Amino acid sequence: MFKYSIRGENIEVTEAIRDYVTAKLEKLSKYFQEDQELDVRVNLKVYREKTAKVEVTIPLGSLTLRAEDVSQDLYGSVDLVVDKIDRQIRKNKTKIEKKHRAKVSTGHIFTNELVEDEEKIPVNIVRSKQIDLKPMSVEEAVLQMELLGHDFFIYKDAEDDSTNVLYKREDGDFGLLEVK
């Protein structure tokens, strides 16, 4: 069912760690069809400050389940990441199924395991704004974003005329989403 790829950065992935991660993630298998083979990518990082970051990614075709956690305890982070993905599945099972069926006509990806009924989460848009995308360099976009005090900024790249989204990451660095 699950095919694991477990990587470690600044940490050796021992058999004990591998067994713990796979045992925890196997709990999620109850949500998926048995005949489905899913790649599960796990990245474990340990930093100098003795903090551990666990990232788990499960691609489902056009959708991806992903969660991460940073704490002082590697095993605790694994537990929290598995809980986060479990909540994502239970909360969005019906939406994921609909999107998957629209892309692939091969039926369901999830079992009929009893999960919470999908709660209709009301989309409450409290403000709408139209923007005019100005051509600029990434440096100008960073400056503009910081001047506005925003966490993200949408702009048109001056060189190739593509639409890009610049965002501030949790670590204080910047990320760039380039629309193809």
Question: In this predicted model, what pLDDT tens digit does every residue of 63-76 receive, in sequence order?
Answer: 788 899 999 999 99
Angle of the 74-103 helix axis to the 15-26 helix axis, nearest 10: 40
Query: pLDDT higher for 12 or 49?
Result: 12
Q: Indicate the domain borders of the chain.
A: 2-103, 135-178
Lowest-pLDDT range of 6-10, 39-43, 91-95, 134-138? 91-95
**Residue (of 174, 173, 153, 172) closest to 164 by Cα position:** 153
Residue 29, pLDDT score: 86
* Average pLDDT across the chain, whole number: 83
**Residue with tokens 């100008």, as numbered in its chain:** 140
- Report the topology of domain 2-103: Double Stranded RNA Binding Domain (3.30.160)
**Average pLDDT of the residues in 171-180:** 89
Q: What pLDDT does residue 145 have?
A: 82
- Domain 135-178 belongs to what topology? SHC Adaptor Protein (3.30.505)
The answer to whether the 2-103 and 135-178 domains have the same CATH topology is no
Question: Cα-Cα-Cα-Cα dihedral of 20, 110, 121, 99, to 10°?
Answer: 120
- What per-residue confidence (pLDDT) applies to 143? 85
DSSP-derived secondary structure letter, 135: E
pLDDT at 120: 61
